[in-house]
């Protein structure tokens, strides 16, 4: 029996995910978008919906969000109320602690689960596993080419066009970074929730004119030991602000739900 999946969002990530999902064990039964429009590239198996209240009619097993932080609460509530697990990509939504509490309550009431997928990061499984033995410090550097920071508050914090060397333009908590840079620093909240929390996790944002990839440098210390991991992501060809691994990790999160063996 196929896993019935609804994707929320039909941008660069949603389209990539749909194209990579295994059709042997997964059926894409719906695509949720914000407003009515023609989507000629949606698979014929999928019904396009614009109202989260229409989710239940599609009887999904999993609803996977790849849209925006504004989509997380309405689609998450509807998915969980329908008894479907909800996979979150726009983790910056949880910079608002009420949002996380809201979906936690909805998951309990619906007998379902909220899964925060790892996105463009590596080492998140180890960071989360380390918590019972104490994590004291978590520092996450996000390094991207200047062009990837265009259209964000970074334009007011440094001269993106005139940089000749890597430049730190922001140091803040994960909560602040996720609120200020919801797309570019979306993963800041993933790191925070896996480790020591949104207010204690340090996020360092860097514009690097020599960078050819989107790079994440994660450092953690605690009773478990010391962890240093680096992930250099190629951007999605259709969206330079999004790492290809963000889509690949969502594919993995969905396919693990359908597979008899998950890793």
Catalytic one among 77, 144, 216, 241? 216
How far is the C-alpha of 80 from the C-alpha of 11, rounded, in Å? 23
Pairing of strands 214-222, 135-144: antiparallel
Whether residue 140 lies in the annotated active site: no
Q: What does the DSSP 8-state code read for residue 46? A: P
Record the tokens describing residue 247, joined without a space.
């889509």
For the beta sheet containing 135-144, the strands, ordered from the edge strand earlier in sequence to the opposite edge, are 167-173, 202-207, 135-144, 214-222, 225-233
How open is the CA angle 218-223-228, to the nearest 5 degrees? Answer: 20
Q: What does the DSSP 8-state code read for residue 5? A: E
What is the number of other CB atoms lying within 10 angstroms of the CB of residue 134?
A: 11
How far is the C-alpha of 204 from the C-alpha of 185, rounded, in Å? 10
How far is the C-alpha of 162 from the C-alpha of 149, rounded, in Å? 13
Catalytic residues: 216
């Amino acid at each position: 029996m196929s896993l019935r999946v609804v994707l929320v969002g039909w941008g660069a990530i949603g389209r990539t995910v749909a194209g990579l999902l295994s059709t042997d064990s997964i059926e894409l039964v719906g695509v949720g978008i914000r407003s009515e429009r023609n989507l000629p590239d949606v698979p014929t198996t999928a019904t396009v919906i614009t109202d989260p209240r229409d989710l239940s009619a599609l009887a999904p097993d999993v609803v996977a969000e790849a849209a925006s932080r504004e989509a997380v609460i309405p689609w998450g509530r509807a998915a969980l109320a329908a008894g479907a697990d909800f996979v979150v990509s726009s983790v910056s939504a949880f910079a608002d602690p009420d949002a996380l509490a809201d979906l936690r309550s909805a998951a309990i009431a619906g007998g379902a689960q909220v899964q925060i997928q790892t996105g463009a990061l590596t080492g998140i499984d180890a960071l989360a596993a380390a918590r019972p033995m104490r994590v004291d410090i978590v520092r996450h550097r996000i390094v991207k080419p200047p062009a990837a920071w265009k259209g964000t508050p970074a334009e007011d914090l440094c001269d993106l066009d005139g940089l000749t060397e890597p430049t730190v333009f922001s140091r803040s908590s994960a909560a602040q970074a996720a609120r200020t840079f919801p797309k570019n620093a979306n993963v800041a909240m993933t790191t925070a929730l896996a480790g020591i929390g949104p207010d204690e996790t340090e996020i360092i944002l860097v514009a690097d004119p020599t960078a050819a990839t989107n790079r994440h440098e994660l450092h953690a210390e605690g009773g478990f030991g010391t962890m240093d991991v680096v992930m250099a992501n190629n951007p999605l060809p259709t969206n330079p602000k999004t790492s290809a691994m963000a889509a690949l990790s969502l594919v993995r999160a969905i396919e693990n739900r359908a597979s008899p063996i998950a890793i």
